[in-house]
Amino acid sequence: MENQDQTIEVMRACLLAGKIMLQSGAETYRVEDTMSRMASSFGLSQTHSYVTPTGIIFSTEGEGPERTKLVRISDRTTDLRKVAMVNSVSRKISSGKIGLEEALKQLKDIEEANLTYSFFIQIVAAAIASGCFTIMFRGSWLDFLPSMAAGGMGYFLVVYFHRIVPVKFFAEFLSSFFIGMVSFFFVKVGLGQELDKIIIGSVMPLVPGLLITNAVRDLMAGHLVSGLSKGAEALLTAFAIGSGIAAILSFL
C-alpha cells in the first residue's frame, strides 16, 4: 500500500514538472524527457507520456495496477526562467541530491512563483527591440524613435487587451491595428519616414517566433499532434497581426 502511495506521489511530481514546462513554452520532447527521467530516478522505469499543447497524459507500469493521470493545460505563455528552474530540479533529482518530498515542494514553489520582469521593463524592452529591428531591416535612424513608441505601445496593448478579453486573437488583432494607426500618424505628421519599416519593426514583439520554430521542431521530432497544433496557433497569431495591419493599409 505504501508503495502505491509513493507511485502516486512520483506521478504527481512528474506531472507538475511537465505542466510547468509546457505552460512556460518548453519543447515537447523536453517535457517528455524530463518526466520520464524524473520517474526513472524515483524507481518507475516503465512510463509512457503523451504530451500535446493542451494536455498531458502520463501513465506508469509497475507493481500493482497501472496508473494513468491527466492534466489539462489551458493557458500557455513564454517564461524561459521557469523552464530553466524545472530543468535544474530534474537534474538535482537524477543526481540524487534531493528526494521526492523536497522535489515536490520546490516544484510547487516554482509553479506559484511570479518571476517575470516587471511589466514596465517588459514594455521598455519591447520598445527598444522594435527600434533596433527597424534599423536591422535597413530603416533610417530617423525612424528609430517612432518605431520605439509604436512597438512599446503595441506590446502594452496586447498584454492589456489580453487581460480584458481572454481571446488572444482579438487582443493581437486590436493591438496591431493600433500599431498601424500610430505608425501612419507618425508618418503623416512627419515624425517618421518610411511607414513599412516602422510597422515591421514595431510588430516584431508580437510575432510568434518561438511557436513557429517549436512547431517545426516538434514535427521533425515526430510529435505530429503538438507540431500541427502549435503551427495552427502560430498561424492564427500571424493572421491576427497581418489582418490588423491590413485593416489599416486598406484605408490608405
Output the smallest distance, CB 66 to other proteins, in A: 25
Residues 17-76 that bind other proteins (CB under 8 A): 25-27, 30
Mark 69-108 with x for binding to other proteins (rule: CB under 8 A) and - for no binding. ---------xxxxxxx--xx--x-----------------
- Residue indicated by cell numbers 511589466: 119
**Interface with other proteins: number of residues (CB under 8 A):** 50
Q: Which long-range contacts (CB under 8 A, 24 or more apart) does 156-159 make?
A: 156/123, 156/126, 158/206, 159/119, 159/122
State the Cα–Cα distance between residues 45 and 238, nearest whole angstrom: 41
Distance CA 176, CA 247 (A): 10
Strand pairing partners for 67?
60
Strands 55-61, 46-52: pairing kind: antiparallel
Between 11 and 199, name the residue whose CB sits nearer to other proteins.
199
Q: What is the DSSP string of 179-213?
A: HHHHHHHHHHHTS-S-HHHHHHHHHGGGS-HHHHH
Q: What track of x and - describes contact with other proteins for positions 148 through 187 (by CB under 8 A)? A: -------x--------------------------------
Residues that bind other proteins (CB under 8 A): 25-27, 30, 78-84, 87-88, 91, 115-117, 121-122, 125-126, 128-129, 132-133, 135-137, 155, 196, 199-200, 203-205, 207, 209-210, 212-213, 216-217, 220, 238, 242-243, 245-246, 249-250
